[in-house]
């Protein structure tokens, strides 16, 4: 927190103190956290970071809340896995998977919520709240429980049963809304005006919340020996995560922790909710909201708050944005599982399947060092695999039956 200068409007550059604000008073533009990069460059080193805990708080100097008293379930410092078998299938050279299925509640949302609720407590906000497609609900309910805060999460009523159960178990309030995520998000924006002492993590403390995603960039750079990759592939829901990964890489250069190196940033969407991919394909100068219909519910945001910013970053860095259909998403999940032993939720299937598509089109190249972000655990969306995977055979408990079943299989 010591290095935060304040909040700055991304559109008109107006400055604000670091309070519970999320939009510019003049132009309603989004607000970003600004740091004293001069001081960071003098005081933060690879060694000072390496001496920190093995979670996101090792990067506390580059986060907008204090590590002392952090709301912390241990999010972050997840494995960066060298994925040679997946890379070979896709015709890629050096491929890495950032395996964020390993977080406390099974998704990258633990990173952003840890930062958001830490800041919320610093600001004296009493109740943790959010609008969620599921993963955020899990993370808010769990972190609030650990912090002894009350929580109220709002979700679309058609959410996967697993995500509802794995939120409600933490004992907070779960309000299911008959509407899609965009309806739920609008409701929370309205409510946040009526409940000023609640921390709606992705509304009134959004500038702080979003900063948590920078750790996805910090960790990759540190795990690659303090170097930057050539190309990263990131799922797009609101677009926020992609914008913060870009900010994270640029900040590492700014404070002198890595050598400057161009990082191409590509995005992945589900065809059933692909407003940013469509704008990219159409070379459009605006993003047209859509009504989502996809099994990748954690990415089903039809009116993405940071969609335009994400699109600009992809264009600036020379990346691409692809979209994949529901069958391709399932194939993406299975491909990652059978090549690397990592079980991703549908959003991970979107990202892996999009990587495959971009690689086949030559947009991700075999001479690049590539990182694909897998951001949620497959146990959250098992419903998508029902009737798709199951036993190879069901047999009687006898050797004869076993031989009969195994005879037809090409086994060593």
User: Shortest distance, CB of residue 375 to Zn ion, whole angstroms?
Assistant: 30
Q: Does 6 bind Zn ion (CB under 5 A)?
A: no
Provide the β-strand partners of residue 173. 152
User: Shortest distance, CB of residue 98 to Zn ion, whole angstroms?
Assistant: 33
- The contacts of residue 399 (CB under 8 Å, 6+ apart) are none
Q: Does 27 bind Zn ion (CB under 5 A)?
A: yes
- Choose one: 3-11, 101-109, 153-161, 198-206; the region binding Zn ion (CB under 5 A): 3-11
User: Shortest distance, CB of residue 21 to Zn ion, whole angstroms?
Assistant: 11
- The contacts of residue 365 (CB under 8 Å, 6+ apart) are 92, 231
Q: Does 265 bind Zn ion (CB under 5 A)?
A: no
The binder of Zn ion chosen from 4, 7, 9, 131 (CB under 5 A): 9
What is d(CA 103, CA 113) in angstroms, rounded to the nearest whole number?
12
User: Shortest distance, CB of residue 24 to Zn ion, whole angstroms?
Assistant: 3
Q: Does 116 bind Zn ion (CB under 5 A)?
A: no
CB nearer Zn ion, residue 10 or residue 102: 10
Measured in degrees and rounded to the nearest 5, phi and psi for residue 64 equal -90, 25
CB nearer Zn ion, residue 26 or residue 403: 26
Decide if 248 contacts 373 (C-beta within 8 A). no
What is d(CA 271, CA 296) in angstroms, rounded to the nearest whole number?
10
User: Shortest distance, CB of residue 186 to Zn ion, whole angstroms?
Assistant: 21
Going by the DSSP 8-state scheme, the letter that residue 102 receives in this structure is G
- The contacts of residue 282 (CB under 8 Å, 6+ apart) are none
Q: Does 11 bind Zn ion (CB under 5 A)?
A: yes
CA angle 175, 300, 156 (to 5 degrees): 15
User: Shortest distance, CB of residue 285 to Zn ion, whole angstroms?
Assistant: 20
Q: Rounded to an integer, what is the distance from CA 394 to the centroid of its chain? A: 39
Helices (H), 199-306: 206-211, 214-223, 240-254, 275-281
Q: Does 12 bind Zn ion (CB under 5 A)?
A: yes
- The contacts of residue 355 (CB under 8 Å, 6+ apart) are 90, 233, 268, 364, 370, 372
User: Shortest distance, CB of residue 229 to Zn ion, whole angstroms?
Assistant: 33
Going by the DSSP 8-state scheme, the letter that residue 226 receives in this structure is S
Q: Does 360 bind Zn ion (CB under 5 A)?
A: no
User: Shortest distance, CB of residue 15 to Zn ion, whole angstroms?
Assistant: 10
What is d(CA 168, CA 370) in angstroms, rounded to the nearest whole number?
37
User: Shortest distance, CB of residue 13 to Zn ion, whole angstroms?
Assistant: 7
- Choose one: 6-14, 90-98, 189-197, 279-287; the region binding Zn ion (CB under 5 A): 6-14
What do you get for the CA distance between the two ends of the chain, in Å? 57
Q: Does 24 bind Zn ion (CB under 5 A)?
A: yes
- Choose one: 2-10, 129-137, 322-330, 386-394; the region binding Zn ion (CB under 5 A): 2-10
CA distance to 111, 221, 250, 277, per residue, from 214 (Å) = 9, 11, 10, 22
Q: Does 15 bind Zn ion (CB under 5 A)?
A: no
Q: Does 31 bind Zn ion (CB under 5 A)?
A: no
The binder of Zn ion chosen from 1, 6, 16, 29 (CB under 5 A): 29
- Choose one: 28-36, 51-59, 257-265, 337-345; the region binding Zn ion (CB under 5 A): 28-36
- Choose one: 11-19, 131-139, 364-372, 392-400; the region binding Zn ion (CB under 5 A): 11-19
Q: CA Rg, the chain, in Å?
A: 21
Q: How many residues bind Zn ion (CB under 5 A)?
A: 8
Q: Which residues of the chain form contacts with Zn ion (CB under 5 A)?
A: 9, 11-12, 14, 24, 26-27, 29
């Amino acid at each position: 927190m010591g290095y935060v200068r304040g909040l700055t409007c991304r559109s008109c550059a107006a400055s604000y103190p670091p309070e519970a604000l999320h939009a510019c008073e003049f132009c309603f533009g989004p607000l970003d956290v600004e740091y004293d990069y001069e001081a960071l460059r003098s005081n933060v080193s690879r060694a000072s970071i390496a001496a920190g805990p093995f979670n996101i708080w090792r990067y506390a100097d580059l986060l907008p809340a204090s590590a002392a008293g952090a709301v912390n379930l241990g999010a972050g410092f997840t494995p960066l896995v060298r994925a040679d078998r997946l890379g070979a299938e896709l015709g890629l050279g050096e491929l890495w998977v950032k395996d964020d299925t390993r977080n406390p509640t099974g998704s990258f949302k633990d990173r952003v919520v840890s930062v958001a609720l830490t800041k919320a407590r610093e600001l004296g906000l009493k109740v943790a709240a959010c609008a969620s497609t599921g993963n955020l609900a899990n993370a808010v309910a769990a972190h609030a429980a650990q912090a002894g805060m009350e929580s109220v999460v709002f979700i679309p009523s058609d959410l996967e049963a697993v995500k509802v159960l794995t939120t409600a178990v933490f004992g907070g309030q779960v309000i299911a809304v008959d509407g899609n995520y965009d309806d739920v998000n609008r409701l929370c924006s309205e409510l946040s005006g009526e409940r000023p002492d609640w921390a709606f993590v992705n509304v009134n403390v959004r500038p702080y919340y979003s900063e948590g995603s920078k750790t996805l960039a910090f960790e990759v750079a540190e795990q690659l020996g303090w170097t930057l990759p050539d190309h990263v592939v990131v799922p797009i829901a609101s677009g926020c995560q992609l914008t913060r990964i870009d900010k994270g890489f640029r900040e590492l250069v700014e404070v002198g922790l890595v050598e400057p190196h161009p990082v191409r940033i590509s995005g992945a969407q589900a065809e059933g909710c692909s407003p940013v991919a469509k704008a990219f394909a159409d070379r459009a100068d605006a993003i047209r909201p859509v009504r989502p219909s996809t099994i990748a519910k954690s990415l089903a945001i039809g009116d993405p708050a940071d969609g335009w910013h994400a699109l600009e970053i992809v264009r600036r860095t020379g990346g691409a944005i692809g979209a994949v259909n529901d069958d391709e998403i399932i194939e993406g999940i299975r491909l990652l599982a059978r090549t690397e032993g990592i079980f991703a939720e549908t959003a991970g299937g979107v990202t892996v399947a999009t990587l495959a598509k971009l690689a086949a089109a030559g947009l991700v190249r075999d001479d690049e060092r590539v990182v694909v972000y897998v951001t949620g655990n497959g146990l959250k969306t098992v419903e998508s695999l029902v009737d798709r995977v199951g036993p190879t055979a069901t047999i009687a408990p006898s050797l004869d039956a076993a031989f009969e079943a195994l005879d037809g299989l090409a086994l060593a």
